Structure 1
Amino acid sequence: MSLTEILGYFGALFIGIVLGLIGGGGSILTVPILVYLLTINPVTATAYSLFVVGASSLVGAIKNMQKGLVDYKTAFSFAIPAVTVVFLTRRFLVPAIPNVLWTIDDFELTKNIAIMLFFALLMLFSSYSMITSQSLTNAVSQKRPSYKLLVLQAVIIGVVTGLVGAGGGFLIIPALVLLAKIPIKRAVATSLLIIAINSLIGFTGDIINTSVNWSFLLIFTFISILGIFLGMYLSNYIAGKNLKKGFGWFVLLMGSYILFKELFN
């Protein structure tokens, strides 16, 4: 086993630890770890990421269900349109994207580069959300929930999740608070169930198009889940909120690195 492979598996553990400590964000690193450390094709990496993110989120969702924090009506109102779009994106849209999108002088924009560039932009948006730490605690108003806008948001997030294999929790949570009008604590808990459903069912859209290395994928996912429990244990001693901004800056650097590498390498 090479050094980069060892670092890749440590990366899986790190993903879980971050999820356990701050309740989200760690999954944004799954695709870069799979692509740059474990040299997996970006399209395959986004498929694997859906499985890893889905399984990891399911662990957190089950814990929140036991605590009675999940709003099931909102979860399924959001998840049904979102998971339909994720599945269709993975099953039909991603395979339909041509291997070469366009060529400008000596630069050739391939499907793999385009996916990583889009993912890098998603990382930058995610890092901004974590760094600014805009509070949604008091965002719930007395107005009626806007389920039409919630469904529209679900469709948009479904496309993003399907394209890059990220859970999109930083997009889902504000939607649940601002549109479904549920408290932030329940929104965080409910988002994990939505992410688990979106990611795991979305992954099934890849099974026909992707040759899955199940032994690798299950080991990587198992290590990530172990990291979640380790992160939960460490959260008793470390305040996750204090780490969120620091992790946001790390994600910002990673996203910037991916942009530079894909455009100028």
Structure 2
Amino acid sequence: MEITEVIGFIAALIIGIVLGLIGGGGSILTVPVLVYILHINPITATAYSLFVVGVSSTAGAIQNLKKGLIDFQTALIFAIPSLLAVYGTRRYIVPAIPNQLISYKNIIITKEIGLMIFFALIMFIASMSMIRNDKRKTKSLVKSNTSYTLIFIEGIVVGILTGLVGAGGGFLIIPALVLMAKLPMKKAVATSLLIIAIKSLIGFMGDVENLEIEWHFLLPFTLVAVLGIFLGTYFTRYIEGKKLEKGFGWFVLLMSIYILLKEVT
């Protein structure tokens, strides 16, 4: 095994640990790891990310199910439009995107570069959400009535974003569940993992018909990430989630800047 593969599998373990600790965020590391460390094509990397995130989140959701932390009604209202959106995006929209998005003088932006730039922008937004962590805003909004209509609409939006960039969208799902469905944070994290698992795996099914999947790589990589999510869940007993989330937010911010600089220079 080459050194890049060793680093990649260590990163897979970290991805799982972060997912287990804060219920999201780990998935946003998967695409950069696959693209920049393991040198996998961005289109294929977003597909692999959906599978890794889907299986890892399933493992986390099963653990939370045993603890009775999952709100199935809210999960279904969010997941059904989300999984339809992510499947449609992977099956029809991504293949329909032209290979050359922009060609102006010496500026050429290909489909792969465009997706990575878009992914970096999503990472930037996610990092701001994690860094700010405005408790006062959350408390004021939680007092409003539960809005299942807004949850349904956000499910569609998150599904499309997930389909485009291959991230689970936990950074969007968890605030929606807390603010709109008025779920306690622990239940929101647990329910988020179930939603991420369902829509990520459904989205990956849209890729199986379009891509040749290297299962001999993908399955071991995913297994390591699953091990990580069990470790992350165990570490929640000793690490304060809020501090970890803010620190991880700064890391994601730096990663987003790095990706932008690498793709545009």
Q: Tell me the C-alpha RMSD between the 2 structures.
A: 1.4
1:39: which partner in 2?
39
The 3 A distance-change label for structure 1 pair 178 and 34 is same
Q: Which residue of 2 aligns with 1:229?
A: 230
Equivalent residue letter for 1:86: V
Q: State whether structure 2 residue 142 is matched by structure 1 residue 140.
A: yes
Q: Does 1:97 align with 2:93?
A: no
Deviation, structure 1 residue 137: 5.6
- Displacement after TM superposition at 1:23 (Å): 2.8
Unmatched 5+ stretches in structure 1: none
- The 8 Å contact of residues 11 and 33 in structure 2, kept in 1 or not, is answered as yes
CA contact (8 A) 1:19 1:25 kept: yes
Q: How many residues align?
A: 263
SS in 2 for 1:241: helix
Letter in 2 for 1:46: T
SS of 2:208's equivalent in the other structure is coil
- 2:68 corresponding residue in structure 1: 68
Partner of residue 78, structure 2 = 78
- Cα pair 2:23 2:192 within 8 Å, conserved: no
- Counterparts of 1:16 and 1:238, CA distance in 2: 15
Q: How does 1:177-256 map to 2 (within 5 A)?
A: 177-256=178-257
Paired residues of 1:124 and 1:251 also in contact (CA < 8 A): yes
Report the Cα distance in structure 2 between the residues aligned to 1:186 and 1:237, rounded to whole angstroms: 19
- Partner AA of 2:190 in structure 1: A
C-alpha separation in 1, matches of 2:189 and 2:124: 21
Alpha carbons 2:58, 2:193 under 8 Å: kept: yes
More deviation, 183-192/3-12 = 183-192
1:169 and 1:22 mapped to 2: Cα distance? 9
- Quote the sequence identity (%): 61
> TM-score normalised to the size of structure 1?
0.95
The aligned counterpart of 2:54 is 54
The C-alpha deviation readout for 1:141-200, integer Å capped at 9, x for no partner, is: 262x22222211111111000000101111111212222233332222111111110001
Decide which moves more: 170-179 or 150-159. 170-179
Pair 1:238–1:173, CA change in 2 (3 A): closer
CA 1:78–1:234 in structure 2 vs 1: closer, same or farther (change >3 Å)?
closer
**Separation (CA, whole Å) in 2 of partners of 1:11 and 1:48:** 14
TM-score, normalising length from structure 2? 0.95
Partner Cα distance (1:70, 1:150) in 2: 16
Match of 2:154 in 1: 153
Question: Which stretch shows the higher mean deviation, 126-135 or 104-113?
Answer: 126-135
Kindly tell me: are residues 233 and 174 of structure 1, through their superposed partners in 2, closer, same or farther at Cα, counting changes over 3 Å? closer
Deviation at 1:210, TM superposition (A): 0.7
Cα deviations by residue, 1:95-125 (Å, 9 ceiling, x for unpaired): 0001001112212110000110010011111
Aligned to 2:163: 162
Whether the 8 Å contact between 2:173 and 2:192 is mirrored in structure 1 is yes
- Which letter does structure 2 place at the counterpart of 1:32? P
Q: Which runs of 5+ in 2 are unaligned?
A: none
